[in-house]
Structure 1
Amino acid sequence: YAFGRTGQRTRLTEGRARTVGGRKARNEWSVLLRDHHPGYITWPEFEDNQKLLLENAHMKKNCARKSARGGRALLTGLMRCGHCGRMMRVFYGMGKGNAHRYQCRGDDAHVGSGLCIGIGGVRVDRAVAHEILDAVSERAVEAAILAAEQAERTRQDVIAAVRRELEQARYETSLAERRYELVDPAKRHVARELEARWNDALERAAQIERRLEELSSSLAASPPIDRNRLLQLAHDLPAAWNAAADMRSKQRLLHIVIQEIVCNLDDATNEAVLLIHWTGGRHSEVRVARVRSGRYPADGAPSAVKALRAMAGHWPDRELAVALNRMRCQTGDGHTWTTVRVREMRERLGLPQYVADPARPQTVTLMKTAEHFG
């Protein structure tokens, strides 16, 4: 039974107070009585269904992580923007390519403030996959087995302590019972007080018994640990991961062991900083080098004169200007190259002009060669 799931609030709009209604969060409801009526499903099943529906609603405006939907991106639904807190979307490139990109749009869709941050997905996926394989390595599995054995011993110690507490509660119950039986019936006030103490002792003993049953059932429900099987799985997982072609299976595995990944950009080192939140509550940081724009670094770019002497006569002036700009070559004034500037520099150096000769073997660019051979 629930009451008070909606409410009204007042806000200022253009200098005027306006009252609007809306749904409240569950912790703000006025009344919430769970299991008040017999339901078709249990309350935990209802919460699991609501969580599943929220993860499958990819187009809703919320900050919850999303489910895996296949595709080439490994971290679909797990990447969160470290600047604004929104979930990052996946954008794919050309249909023939394998490149994809994780991009946060920010408030661009609503107020046109521009995109937030973005990072290429190939290197990020490779780095996270390496972290997954390290997490299930033999040493990690051995540490997990030791931690599980220690947790089991702790649960057994707790059960032993609860059993001793139950023995003490039963002794106090029998003592209260004997005191009640020995009291004089004529002393009704004393008998009433002893009866209340006896009832309290019985209730406390019943509570301890229920607690002991819950602990024993949880300990019995935990499966036994097969050390050899887990170590063999850790040894075979890297080969199985690299050989698997189903991306959806990999995505589901990541959604089991990873809660979310917060992405930030470090401009000083030109790296993407990934903060991985594991399901068990631990966190790890991974740094991924970003791809530098341009083919040549600033300190390794060839000189424009040297490049023109090597390419003049083989390509038109327009193609030469494009090539010089890609190699980060600049003019003496620090400007980019255009067709006019290339022609002036070529004439000043006395370099030949490109002439299309049908008898000469035709040359094609690297992009056209790749398109031709698929």
Structure 2
Amino acid sequence: MIHDPRGKIKPRHLRRNAYLYVRQSTLRQVMENTESTERQYALRQRAIQLGWSQEQIVVIDNDLGQSGASAADRLGFQNLVAEVGLAHAGIVMGLEVSRLARNCADWHRLLEMCALTDTLILDEDGLYDPAHFNDRLLLGLKGTMSEAELHVLKARLQGGILNKARRGELLGPLPIGFQYGHDRQVRLEPDRQVQESLRVFFETFQRTGSATATVKAFREQGLLFPHRVHGGPNKGEVVWTPLVHSRALWLLHNPRYCGAFFHGRTRQRHDPHGSVRFKKLPREEWTVFLPDAHAGYISLEQFEENQGKLLENAQACGAERKRSPPREGPALLQGIVLCGRCGNRMGVRYHQIRERLVPDYICQRQGIERAEPICQSIPGAGLEVAIGALLIETITPLTLEVALSVEEELKRRGNEVEGLRQKHVERLRYEADLARRRYMQVDPDNRLVADELEGEWNGKLRAHKEALEAMEEQRRAQARTRGPEQRAQILALAKDFPRLWNDPRTPSRERKRMARLLLEDVTLTKGPGITAQVRFKGGTTQTITLPPPPPIAELRKNPAHIVAEVDRLLDDYTHGQIAAILSNKGMHTVTGTALQRLNIRHIQEAYGLVPRYDRLRNRGMLTLSEAAEQLGVSQATVKSW
């Protein structure tokens, strides 16, 4: 036994277990810094020399590879504190204080528990009793220095990283489409198919204005998108998979694609449970943002424009995130209508008239959130007609210039997609040829390897054949949709924008996109009439005043020509006969249904028309019984006459 000059080790300590805590901060240190680990395990001999038996020594080493900055994820340290609190430990051993904790709160909590349960602490420098003030003071200083050491090391590392980042020289993983050159400068991906895929992606978003629409366009064209594998045996390889919405958003939000270097875009926070949370910061709070640091696929101005579109399209809660992209519904002003009373954005509700959806613009935000009455509701049919007329009047002088570029844009877009398909087929052809060469080089007698390579070759051939057939099918489909007749129709419609706008074949989504090219928003106020304040993109405003919508009775009122026709036919025909005659002439009710006998009766009563019975009376006609009575014969005789 080692001589204990101060007599700190008592028999009560030796009756308890000795706990040895072993820790390394990272798995790399565990694998490479083996000498430090061996020195920590060697403390078992110190415990034996101090009087503990081999069976009493408990080694806690399940925190190897865990940082000592926090006790939240260190199950071994938590178990050690629990054993100390239960007075099961006579001594706690660690090579140095930093092995036990690099956090003053965790360290002093352990010291407090050791002092309460009369537990000793041993490190490489000596033996301490936390119940003694001098030893506890020294241990507290060691814990503070251990935490300060971690802070200094972290500050040095972060300072070096930040200094490199400010020069734009900090190396990190690059997104697909970029790679480092021999001089460690960022270069565009040399694979032309990857470059063209990214350019088509950003051009498609510029055209559609929506990440969802971009994903749909890639799916409809049958295009795949590149993705670099970041882990596993295929690390670094480029694989081609269908484009998904989450990846499209990630690409659009990444400033690397506009040639910018950035650092410090997120802030790291620790919650009370020790978990790490990351919070995205606004641009002005980023640590480093260096535009034009390397070549990109889009300009910085286009990147900023894309961020604005994504912000408008976002549908999460918040005053600044209410606008949404144009959708399939027929409401022309969907997403850009503001309430003139409360300033909230108005929603859309549809009702059906004659198998046609008609929108109503409703301000019901407060009604949803606070159960208050609806602020205002405005019929959209007449309003949209007036807005459409305003747009036609505004845009007609510009349509001819736009029309001249439509055909070229369609050709260019088709050529880009065709180029991507050709590169994809060429890549599959190369992979099939490579598989063939590998198969031809194998020993024919080695059937296990030969069969595997033959199956791989056949799979590559099938993939190449399917891609080639898909490309030919797409070519035939484009030839059908881009023939001379279609080109002539495009030019004819472009010269006549009113006909293009009113063409029933024009999808509602495209009509709304055309409106958003000119309109910023429309503010509606319902009073004696309907006032629409239209704000254009350039800031110009124009006010439209519409008469109040007619009541439902006026909307359901029968046309005057139908009433006049019923009045004329009542002289000679019954209600059922009149309904049949008018239906044969193509007339129908205000709701679009066929005229029936009850409809004719309702028109007669509602408009005060003279019934057919009274008309016949006025002409001096008698009923069958009246004629028989005046002539003094039976009704059967009158019928036979």
TM range (shorter): 0.3 to 0.5
Please give the TM-score of this superposition, normalised by the length of structure 2.
Answer: 0.27
Higher share of residues assigned helix:
2
Structure of greater Rg: 2
Please give the TM-score of this superposition, normalised by the length of structure 1.
Answer: 0.45
